[in-house]
C-alpha cells in the first residue's frame, strides 16, 4: 500500500483513505485532507521532517509519521 | 456590561483576518482576559456606535471538534451562552477550508452572517466569487469585506445585528441521504434538549463526541447501533463520514461560485517561502532572525530601557536625554583620581592582586581604566575581602569611605545638566516633607515602590519583544519557525516555537514565559511555560560570576556548564513530563497551516504589543507587589537585642526571614549548604535573582567547599524563578493548580539536581556519605528510567503496515 509518506517531493497524489482514529486523524481531516482530494507534496523541512503540502489551495505542514497513516493512489 | 442587549460571536479560522476585523469593529473598546481555567486568550469589545452590542472574539479555530482547548472553549460558548448571532469571517482566497467551519456553525441554531474577507486580494488575483450564489447555497447573508482596508466591515456587523434581531436561525447544510436518515433517527432520541440544538447534538452524538453534557452523553449507547450500521456501509468511522460529507457539500456548493484564474505562476509568497524554508538557507535565516530579535529586544533597547527604569526612574535618577551625564562622569572620575585612587590605595590593591586575593585584579583594572562606576561596583563586591586578609594590610576602605562619605565634597548629580531624580527619591522627599513616620516610609519605599519598580523594569523590554513577536506571527514567519524546528523540539514534548521563549529566557524569563503565547497547542504551551526559566537569565549571571570567582578561581567552564545544566533541565523535564498523565492526555498533532506571507499593519502590531504588555502588568503586578511587601516585612521585622519589633536597619540574620531561614536550613543540608545565609539568599532570590549576590557576599563562601558552592549554584539556577517570572507563569497558566505544579516541579527538580551533584561529587572526592551516595545513584537511575520508559502517545493513529 502506498502512503503519503512515499510520495516524492513535487508530485501530486490522490487520497484513498485515512487509517487510524481519534484526534490526529480528525485534525488532519478537518484541515481538508479527505477521501478523493488531491495533495501536492511541496517540500520537506530542512531537518528532514515535517512535510509541506498543498491541499485545497493552501499550504499545510504534516509530520512524516502522520503522513504514513494516509493511503494514496 | 449589564446594559448590553445583543451579543455577536465573531468566529473564523486562524489567519482569516479575524483579529483585524475585530479591531476594526470595536476600536479601542476592548477587554482582554483569559477563558476561565485555560491558557486561551479571551477578547470582547463593544461595537463602534452601538453601546448595547457586545462582540465576543472567539479563538481562531478550524473546526468545532472536541480535541483542542480553543475549539472546546468556542463551542461551549456558542452552545451554553447562546449568542444572538454569529459573524463568521472566511478567507476568500481559501474558501474551501474556511467554509468547513461555517458548515458547523450553521448547525447551532443561531443566526449566522458570513463575511468573505480579502476581496481586494481576490480581485487582484483576477478571481471571482459569486456571493449571491454562495448566499443562496449557505442560506445566510454573505458580505464581501476587506478587514485590512476596513471596506464594508460595518455593513457586515449591521447584517449580523439584523440577523440577531430577526432571530432567524441558520439552516444546517444537507448531507447524503443515508447519513441524513441516520441523523434523523438520532435526533428522535434527543427528547430532552432544546429544539434549536437538536441538529448540533445529533451530529455530535453521531461523531461519538466525548465532550457532551450528561443528558446527551447518556443516549450514546442507544445511538451506537445506528452509527455502527452506517459505518459498515461506508467502511469508515462516523467522525470521518461527517467530515467527508462537509467537504463534499462545500465542493459542490463552490462549483460555479468560485472562479479561479489559476495561473501557474508562483505568487510572491511562494517565492519568499522558496528562500525562507530552503534546505540550506532555512537554518541560517532562522539564526539571523533570532539573533536580530534577541539583539534588539534584549541586548540593546531592552537593556538600555530596563537599566534606565531600574537605575534611573526607580533608582537615584537620570539625566534627561543624557544631558549632563558626560560632564558628571568626567568630574567624578577626576574626583576619584584625586581623592580615592591615592598612591596608597593603588599600592595596596596592586599588592593584593599580586597575593592573589579574590577580586583585587578587578579593582585594579577599574583604577587603571579611571572608571569610577566600575570601581564602585568592584569595591562593593570585593572591598571587604581586602579588609579581611592578613590583618587588613591591603585594606583601602578607610580612604575610600572618607572620600565617598557624607562630608566629602563629591560632585552632585543635580548640579549637572537636566537631572531628573528617580521616583523613590521624589517620594522620599515628599514623605519627609509631610513628616511621614519611618515605618510607613519604609513600607512605601522599600516595599511598594521597590515592588512596582521590579514589575515596571521588565515592561519596556517586554514591549519591544512583543512587537517583534506580533510581527513574526502576523507576517507568517512564526509558522515557518515551527515548521523548521519541529523535528528537534518535539522530542522533548515541546513545539518548534518553544525555541523563542527559551532564547528570550536567556535575557529575562518574564518575557520568555510570555512569549510562549505564540505556541498554538495548549500542551506544548504549558510545557514551555514550565521549562523556560531553567535557562540562566541575565539576573542569574551575577550568581554564576560570583561562584566562579569565589570558588573556582574564575575557571572558564563554570558559566557554560550553567547553560548546559539549564538545557539539560529543559530536555529532561520535557521528556519526563510528556510521558506523565498530565501531559500525555492531549495528543499534539502537528498539522499546521503555513499561511501566505504578508505585510502586517502597524496598528495591529502595536495593539497586540500593548495588549500583552498590559495584561502582564495587570495580572502579574499584584502577585509581585504582594510578594515584595511580604519579603520587606520579613526582613525588617525581627529581634533587636532580644526584643521583637520593627527595625529598618536589622541584620538579616536577626529578622523574621532569618529565623525562617534558620528553621528550614536543614532542608539544604543534603545539598551541602545548610547555612543560614545561603538559605536567606535563596529566599531573597525569589525577589530578584541578583539579590542572591547581595545577601551572599563573596566572604560567605569561604566556609563552603567548591562542590557545595556548585550545588548552591545549581539549585539557585533551576529553582522557582523570581516573583516577576512566577507572576508571568501565573498569568500564562491562568490556573492556580498549574502554577503551583510548575513551581513545585522547578523546585523539586532543582533539589534533585543539586542533591545528585553534591552527593556524587562528594563520593568521588572521597568525603561522601554512603547513604547519600546510594540515594543519589538511585535518583539517577530513577531519572534514566523516567526518560527511557515506553509510553503510548494518546490516541495516536495506528500505523499502517506497508
Radius of gyration of chain B (CA): 32
Same domain flag for B68 and B129: yes
Whether the CB of A16 is below 8 Å from some CB of chain B: the reply is no
Same domain flag for B532 and B569: yes
How many folded domains does chain B comprise?
Answer: 4
DSSP SS3 for A69: coil
CB distance B444 to B628 below 8 Å? no
The secondary structure of B37-62 as a DSSP string is: TSS-EEEEEEPTT-TTEEEEEPPP-S
Same domain flag for B484 and B397: no
pLDDT at residue B44 is higher than 70:
yes
Tell me, rounded to whole angstroms, the distance of Cα B627 from its chain centroid.
20
Domain presence at residue B511: yes
Same domain flag for B415 and B560: no
What is chain B's length?
802
**What pLDDT, on the 0 to 100 scale, is given for residue B793?**
54
Domain presence at residue B533: yes
pLDDT at residue B799 is higher than 50:
no
The answer to whether the Cβ–Cβ distance between B63 and A71 falls below 8 Å is no
Same domain flag for B639 and B702: yes
Mean pLDDT of B705-729: 91
Residues with Cβ within 8 Å of residue B690, at least 6 apart in sequence:
B539, B542, B543
d(CA B513, CA B615): 13
The H or E element that residue B8 is part of is strand B6-12
pLDDT by residue (tens digit) across B111-134? 999 999 999 888 888 888 899 999
Q: Rounded to 5 degrees, what are φ and ψ at B210?
A: -100, 5
**What pLDDT, on the 0 to 100 scale, is given for residue B801?**
36
DSSP SS3 for A9: coil
pLDDT band at B309 (very low <50, low <70, confident <90, very high): confident
The position carrying cell 441558520 is B170
Which 8-state DSSP code applies to residue B687? T
Burial letters B170-186, b for 16+ CB under 10 A, else e: bebbebeeebeebbebb
Dig out the grid coordinates for B180 from the structure: 441524513
Mutate to test the interface with B, among A59, A64, A65 (most CBs of B within 10 A): A59
**What pLDDT, on the 0 to 100 scale, is given for residue B697?**
62
**What pLDDT, on the 0 to 100 scale, is given for residue B589?**
67
pLDDT by residue (tens digit) across B518-530? 787 788 889 999 9
Considering only CB atoms, which chain A residues are within 8 Å of B240?
A: 18, 25-26, 29, 34
Domain residue ranges of chain A, discontinuous segments joined by +: 4-72
Same domain flag for B628 and B728: yes
CATH number of B244's domain: 1.10.287.1770
pLDDT at residue B572 is higher than 80:
yes
Same domain flag for B482 and B628: yes
Same domain flag for B403 and B483: no
CB distance B340 to B367 below 8 Å? no
Q: Domain of B93?
A: 6-166
Dig out the grid coordinates for B315 from the structure: 533608582
Mean of per-residue pLDDT scores for chain B: 86
**What pLDDT, on the 0 to 100 scale, is given for residue B795?**
43
Instruction: Return left, alpha or beta for B146; rule: phi > 0 is left, psi -120 to 50 is alpha, else beta.
Output: beta
The pTM assigned to this predicted structure is: 0.81
- By Cβ distance, the residue of B94, B479, B797 closest to A66 is B797
**What pLDDT, on the 0 to 100 scale, is given for residue B184?**
95
DSSP SS3 for B595: coil
Nearest chain B residue (CA) to A71: B800
d(CA B546, CA B544): 5
The answer to whether the Cβ–Cβ distance between B802 and A48 falls below 8 Å is no
Same domain flag for B134 and B200: no
d(CA B363, CA B367): 6
**What pLDDT, on the 0 to 100 scale, is given for residue B653?**
78
pLDDT band at B538 (very low <50, low <70, confident <90, very high): confident
Domain presence at residue B584: yes
Which 8-state DSSP code applies to residue B300? I
The answer to whether the Cβ–Cβ distance between B797 and A19 falls below 8 Å is yes
Does domain A4-72 fall under CATH 2.30.30.90? My reply is yes
CA distance A62 to chain B (A): 5
Lowest mean pLDDT among B85-89, B281-285, B622-626: B622-626
Which 8-state DSSP code applies to residue B415? G
Lowest mean pLDDT among B225-229, B513-517, B552-556: B552-556
CB distance B13 to B91 below 8 Å? yes
pLDDT at residue A66 is higher than 50:
yes
Whether the CB of A38 is below 8 Å from some CB of chain B: the reply is no
pLDDT at residue B158 is higher than 80:
yes
**What pLDDT, on the 0 to 100 scale, is given for residue B696?**
67
Size of interface A-B (CB pairs under 8 A): 155
Count Cβ atoms within 10 A of the Cβ of residue B409 and give its class: 0-12 exposed, 13-18 middle, 19 or more buried.
exposed
Longest Cα pair distance anywhere in chain B, in angstroms?
101
Q: Give, to the nearest 10 degrees, the angle between helix B558-578 and helix B706-718.
A: 50
Long-range CB contacts for residues B604-608, cutoff 8 Å, separation at least 24:
B604/B19, B604/B20, B604/B23, B604/B470, B604/B474, B605/B467, B605/B470, B605/B471, B605/B474, B606/B467, B607/B23, B608/B19, B608/B466, B608/B469, B608/B470, B608/B473, B608/B474
Whether the CB of A34 is below 8 Å from some CB of chain B: the reply is yes
Lowest mean pLDDT among A12-26, B285-299, B377-391: B377-391
Same domain flag for B413 and B474: no
Q: Which of B421, B444, B479 is the last residue of a domain?
A: B421
CA distance A61 to chain B (A): 5
Considering only CB atoms, which chain A residues are within 8 Å of B478?
A: none
Residues with Cβ within 8 Å of residue B669, at least 6 apart in sequence:
none
Radius of gyration of chain A (CA): 11
Amino acid at each position: 500500500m502506498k502512503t503519503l509518506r512515499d510520495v516524492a517531493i513535487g508530485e501530486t497524489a490522490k487520497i484513498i483513505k485515512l487509517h487510524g482514529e481519534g484526534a490526529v486523524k480528525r485534525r488532519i481531516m478537518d484541515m481538508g485532507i479527505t477521501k478523493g482530494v488531491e495533495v501536492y507534496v511541496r517540500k520537506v523541512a530542512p531537518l528532514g521532517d515535517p512535510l509541506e503540502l498543498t491541499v485545497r489551495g493552501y499550504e499545510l505542514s504534516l509530520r512524516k509519521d502522520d503522513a504514513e497513516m494516509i493511503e494514496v493512489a | 456590561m449589564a446594559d448590553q442587549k445583543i451579543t455577536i460571536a465573531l468566529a473564523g479560522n486562524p489567519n482569516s483576518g479575524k483579529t483585524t476585523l475585530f479591531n476594526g469593529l470595536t476600536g479601542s473598546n476592548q477587554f482582554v482576559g483569559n477563558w476561565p481555567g485555560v491558557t486561551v486568550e479571551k477578547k470582547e469589545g463593544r461595537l463602534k456606535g452601538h453601546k448595547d452590542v457586545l462582540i465576543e472574539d472567539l479563538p481562531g479555530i478550524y473546526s468545532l471538534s472536541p480535541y483542542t482547548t480553543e475549539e472546546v472553549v468556542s463551542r461551549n460558548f456558542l452552545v451554553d451562552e447562546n449568542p444572538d448571532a454569529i459573524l463568521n469571517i472566511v478567507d476568500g482566497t481559501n474558501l474551501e477550508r474556511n467554509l468547513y467551519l461555517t458548515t458547523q456553525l450553521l448547525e447551532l441554531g443561531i443566526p449566522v452572517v458570513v463575511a468573505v474577507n480579502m476581496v481586494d486580494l481576490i480581485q487582484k488575483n483576477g478571481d471571482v466569487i459569486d456571493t449571491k450564489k454562495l448566499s443562496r447555497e449557505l442560506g445566510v447573508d454573505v458580505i464581501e469585506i476587506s478587514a485590512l482596508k476596513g471596506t464594508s466591515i460595518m455593513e457586515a456587523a449591521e447584517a449580523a445585528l439584523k440577523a440577531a434581531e430577526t432571530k432567524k436561525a441558520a439552516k444546517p447544510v444537507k448531507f447524503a441521504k443515508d447519513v441524513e436518515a441516520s441523523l434523523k433517527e438520532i435526533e428522535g432520541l434527543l427528547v430532552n434538549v432544546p429544539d434549536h440544538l437538536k441538529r448540533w447534538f445529533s451530529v455530535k452524538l453521531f461523531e461519538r463526541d466525548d465532550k457532551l453534557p450528561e443528558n446527551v452523553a447518556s443516549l450514546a449507547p442507544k445511538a451506537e447501533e445506528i452509527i455502527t450500521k452506517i459505518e459498515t456501509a461506508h467502511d469508515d468511522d462516523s467522525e470521518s463520514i461527517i467530515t467527508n460529507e462537509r467537504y463534499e457539500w462545500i465542493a459542490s456548493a463552490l462549483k460555479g461560485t468560485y472562479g479561479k484564474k489559476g495561473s501557474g505562476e508562483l505568487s510572491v509568497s511562494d517565492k519568499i517561502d522558496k528562500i525562507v524554508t530552503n534546505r540550506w538557507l532555512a537554518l541560517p535565516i532562522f539564526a539571523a532572525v533570532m539573533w536580530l530579535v534577541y539583539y534588539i529586544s534584549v541586548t540593546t533597547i531592552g537593556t538600555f530601557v530596563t537599566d534606565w527604569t531600574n537605575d534611573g526612574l526607580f533608582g537615584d535618577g537620570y539625566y534627561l536625554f543624557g544631558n549632563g551625564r558626560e560632564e558628571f562622569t568626567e568630574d567624578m572620575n577626576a574626583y576619584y583620581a584625586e581623592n580615592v585612587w591615592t598612591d596608597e590605595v593603588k599600592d595596596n590593591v596592586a599588592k593584593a592582586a599580586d597575593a592573589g586575593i579574590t577580586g583585587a585584579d578587578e579593582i585594579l583594572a577599574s583604577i587603571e581604566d579611571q572608571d569610577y562606576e566600575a570601581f564602585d561596583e568592584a569595591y562593593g563586591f570585593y572591598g571587604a575581602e581586602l579588609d579581611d586578609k592578613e590583618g587588613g594590610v591591603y585594606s583601602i576602605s578607610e580612604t575610600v569611605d572618607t572620600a565617598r562619605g557624607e562630608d566629602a565634597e563629591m560632585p552632585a548629580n543635580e548640579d549637572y545638566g537636566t537631572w531628573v531624580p528617580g521616583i523613590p527619591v521624589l517620594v522620599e522627599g515628599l514623605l519627609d516633607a509631610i513628616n511621614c513616620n519611618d515605618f510607613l516610609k519604609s513600607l512605601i519605599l522599600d516595599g511598594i515602590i521597590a515592588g512596582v519598580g521590579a514589575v515596571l523594569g521588565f515592561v519596556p523590554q517586554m514591549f519591544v519583544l512583543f512587537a517583534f513577536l506580533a510581527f513574526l506571527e502576523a507576517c507568517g514567519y512564526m509558522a515557518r519557525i515551527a515548521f523548521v524546528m519541529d523535528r528537534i523540539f518535539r522530542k522533548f514534548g515541546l513545539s518548534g516555537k518553544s525555541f523563542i521563549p527559551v532564547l528570550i529566557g536567556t535575557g529575562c524569563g518574564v518575557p520568555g514565559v510570555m512569549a510562549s503565547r505564540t505556541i498554538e497547542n495548549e500542551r506544548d504551551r504549558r510545557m514551555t511555560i514550565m521549562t523556560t526559566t531553567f535557562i540562566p537569565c541575565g539576573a542569574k549571571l551575577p550568581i554564576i560570576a560570583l561562584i566562579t570567582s569565589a570558588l573556582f578561581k574564575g575557571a572558564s567552564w563554570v558559566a557554560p556548564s550553567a547553560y548546559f545544566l539549564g538545557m539539560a533541565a529543559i530536555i529532561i523535564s520535557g521528556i519526563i513530563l510528556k510521558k506523565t498523565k498530565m501531559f500525555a492526555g492531549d495528543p499534539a498533532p502537528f498539522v499546521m497551516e503555513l499561511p501566505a506571507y504578508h505585510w502586517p499593519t502597524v496598528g495591529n502590531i502595536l495593539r497586540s504589543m500593548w495588549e500583552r504588555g498590559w495584561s502582564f502588568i495587570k495580572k502579574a503586578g499584584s502577585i509581585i507587589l504582594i510578594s515584595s511587601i511580604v519579603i520587606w516585612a520579613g526582613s525588617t521585622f525581627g529581634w533587636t537585642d532580644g526584643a521583637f519589633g520593627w527595625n529598618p536597619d536589622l541584620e538579616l540574620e536577626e529578622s523574621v526571614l532569618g529565623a525562617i531561614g534558620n528553621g528550614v536550613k536543614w532542608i539544604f543540608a543534603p545539598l551541602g549548604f545548610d547555612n543560614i545565609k545561603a538559605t536567606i539568599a535563596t529566599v531573597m532570590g525569589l525577589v530578584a535573582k541578583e539579590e542572591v549576590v547581595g545577601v551572599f557576599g563573596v566572604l560567605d563562601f569561604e566556609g563552603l567547599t567548591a562542590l557545595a558552592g556548585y550545588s548552591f549554584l545549581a539549585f539557585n539556577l533551576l529553582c522557582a524563578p523570581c516573583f516577576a517570572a512566577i507572576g508571568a507563569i501565573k498569568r500564562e497558566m491562568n490556573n492556580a493548580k498549574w502554577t503551583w505544579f510548575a513551581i513545585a516541579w522547578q523546585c523539586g527538580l532543582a533539589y534533585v539536581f543539586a542533591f545528585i551533584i553534591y552527593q556524587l561529587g562528594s563520593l568521588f572526592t572521597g568525603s561522601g556519605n554512603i547513604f547519600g551516595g546510594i540515594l543519589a545513584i538511585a535518583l539517577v537511575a530513577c531519572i534514566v528510567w523516567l526518560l527511557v520508559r515506553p509510553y503510548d502517545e494518546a490516541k495516536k493513529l495506528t500505523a499502517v503496515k506497508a
